[in-house]
A = this chain, B = another copy of it.
Amino acid sequence: MQISNKRWSTDYFFEQRKRVLSMWPTGNGVSLTDAFAYHHAMNPLKNASNKAMEAKRKGLTLMCPSTGKDTISAHTNLLKYMQDEAKVQFVTTYIDSLTRNCKFDVAKQELQKANDTGKPRLNGFPVVEHGVMGNRAVIDALDIPVLLFGPTPDARLTHEIGLAGGHTGYSGGPLISFWNYTKNVPVESIIHNFQYINRLMGHYEENGVPMMYCVSGAMPATSPPSIMVAPEIIEVLIAAAQGVKHVQLNCWVQGHFAQDLAMILTFQKLTREYLDRFGFTDVKTTTYSVSPTGRFPVAHDQVYGLIAYYAVLGVMGKVQLIGSRTIDEAHHIPTIEGTAHSFRCAGMVINMLQNQNFNVLDNPAVKEEAYYMEIEVRAILDKVLELGSGDIVLGTKLAIEQGVLDQPYSTSQLVKSKVLGVKDCTGAARFYDFGNLPFDSDIKAFHLSKIAEREKQLGCKVDYETVVKDLTAVSEGYILPEFIGSSL
**A353-361, A388-396, A435-443 - the one binding chain B:** A353-361
Name 8 A/B residue pairs within 8 A (Cβ), A-sorted. Answer: A299-B344, A304-B307, A305-B349, A306-B352, A308-B312, A352-B427, A355-B426, A359-B365
- Say if the beta carbon of A275 comes within 8 Å of chain B: no
Known: A304-B304, A351-B479, A359-B365. 13 other contacts (CB 8 A): A45-B488, A54-B488, A302-B344, A302-B347, A308-B308, A309-B348, A309-B353, A348-B477, A355-B483, A356-B427, A358-B365, A359-B363, A360-B360
Interface size counted on chain A using CB atoms at 8 A: 59
- Say if the beta carbon of A211 comes within 8 Å of chain B: no
Cα–Cα distance between A477 and B343 once the two chains are bound (Å): 12
**CB proximity of A308 to chain B, nearest CB, Å:** 3
**CB proximity of A31 to chain B, nearest CB, Å:** 31
**CB proximity of A282 to chain B, nearest CB, Å:** 23
* Cβ–Cβ contact A487 & B87, under 8 A: yes
* Cβ–Cβ contact A477 & B351, under 8 A: yes
Q: Counting chain B CB atoms within 10 Å of each CB, which of A51, A358, A480 scores highest?
A: A358
Which chain B positions have C-beta within 8 A of A309?
308, 312, 348-349, 352-353
Cα–Cα distance between A51 and B255 once the two chains are bound (Å): 28
* Cβ–Cβ contact A477 & B347, under 8 A: yes
Q: Mark A248-285, 1 if CB is under 8 A from B, else 0.
A: 00000001111000000000000000000000000000
- The answer to whether A305 and B51 touch (CB under 8 A), given A352-B479, A355-B483, is no
Cα–Cα distance between A304 and B355 once the two chains are bound (Å): 20
- The answer to whether A345 and B301 touch (CB under 8 A), given A365-B358, A479-B356, is yes
Cα–Cα distance between A134 and B458 once the two chains are bound (Å): 44
**CB proximity of A147 to chain B, nearest CB, Å:** 15
Name A345's contact: one of B302, B312, B426, B479 (CB within 8 Å).
B302
